[in-house]
Structure formats: structure tokens, C-alpha cells
Chain A
């Protein structure tokens, strides 16, 4: 069974801090994604990657960057955390275009 692991379930950071959210998948999937989930807004795509070292902006990339140095790992970086980045962050992976996404359990980030 596919496993997508997000390194932290809960994080509390201060405004201005640099924040790293890590995600690892164990099924050799080509595609990896970062979403954030907010009440009333559903899941919104931040960035995705379809190959190592490749990245593309999603719908809300501002204030975020990503890194994919290895196929199994996709990192989301908040260069300077702000309170409006308080959210649930969800990582997902998929092997190809026609397969559904497999999600991790999420990281609840609070920026104070």
C-alpha cells in the first residue's frame, strides 16, 4: 500500500521564521504535490513536481518554494512565515496522470 509520510503532524512557528515541511513517499511515484486546506476553501494547490528537480507553480505559490532533490522526497519551504500561512498542509503523490492522488495525513502549521 502506498505510504506518503509527512514528518510533522503539528508545528508552531513564529512570524518571519523559515519553515521546512517534509514529505516522503515510498512507491517510486513520479508526481508529488503540496496543497493547503482551509475552511470553506477546500484544498488549494501550492506547487507540484513531475520529476526530480522539476517544479511547477500551482494556484497559490506566493510565499512558498519547493525542493525535489530525490524522487521520493518533496519539501515545502516557507521563506518567511506569516500568520496567513497558518493552515493544514497536505502532501500527495501519484504515479501518472490517470491515477488518483495518495495523500499524507497532513501537517497542521500555526504561525504566531
Chain B
């Protein structure tokens, strides 16, 4: 059973408009959430994160919103640019054994920004 779900496999938006990517989770123990971006033939790169003590975190054009009661987070990209076209993975974690947090990833959403 997938604990982190991205129900939209793909999303297309026009350049300059807002992109909203969604993610749902089921495990109440998750206390740290991240978004990664992945271009073809490259590894995922970290984009933005949020702790469960916050409901919003902003970094330039990227904002992540967390709704703990709904177990839902979203990534907003404003304005969207063609270079944002990539697969976006949502990930969640909680403090595990030793010193390593285990990340649980969603299945990804392919974002295409049309010029």
C-alpha cells in the first residue's frame, strides 16, 4: 500500500501560469516532507521541504503548502517556465533508526510547461 500518493501522472500548464502539484499521504508519523525534481537521464534534485510544524514554506517561485488534517501537501510554481518541465516527486519521512531518515516517495508527476 502506497503511503505517499501522487494521483496525477501528468500536468500541462501554459508558461507564466501557476502549476499546482498535489500529494497525499497516509502515515501520521511523517513529520518532514520534500519535493524533488527530476530531468531525464539525471538523478532527482532537491527542490523544497517543509516540516510538520509549519503549513507553508516559500523559496522564490516555489511554495509548498501542508495540510496536516487532510494529510495533503501541494507544490505551487509561479510563474511556470519551460525549464520547469520535469518529473516532480513528493517524499515524506520520519526519524528512523541510527542517523538515517528513510524517505518514502510518491510515483511522480510529469509537469510540462508549454511556451
Contact = CB atoms under 8 A, between A and B. Distances in A.
B17 interface: no
Interface string B1-36: 000101001000000000000000000000010101
Interface in B33-90: 34, 36, 41-46, 49, 89
Nearest to A43: B105
A69 interface: no
Nearest to B46: A100
A106 B43 contact: yes
Interface string A68-103: 000000000000000000000010101011101111
Contacts of B36: 100, 103
Contact of B43 (A45, A56, A104): A104
A33 B91 CA distance: 15
Given A42-B106, A44-B105, A97-B95, A105 B100 contact: no
A25 B89 CA distance: 23
B100 A31 contact: yes
Interface residues of A, number: 33
Given A48-B100, A56-B100, A43 B44 contact: yes
A58 B102 contact: yes
B44 A31 contact: no
Contacts, number: 74
B59 to A, nearest CB: 12
Given A101-B46, A106-B43, A42 B108 contact: yes
Interface string A42-75: 1111001111001010110000000000000000
A4 B43 CA distance: 10
A22 interface: no
Contacts of A43: 44, 89, 91, 103, 105
Interface of A: 4, 9, 30-31, 33, 35, 40-45, 48-51, 54, 56, 58-59, 90, 92, 94, 96-98, 100-106
Interface of B: 4, 6, 9, 32, 34, 36, 41-46, 49, 89, 91, 95, 97-108
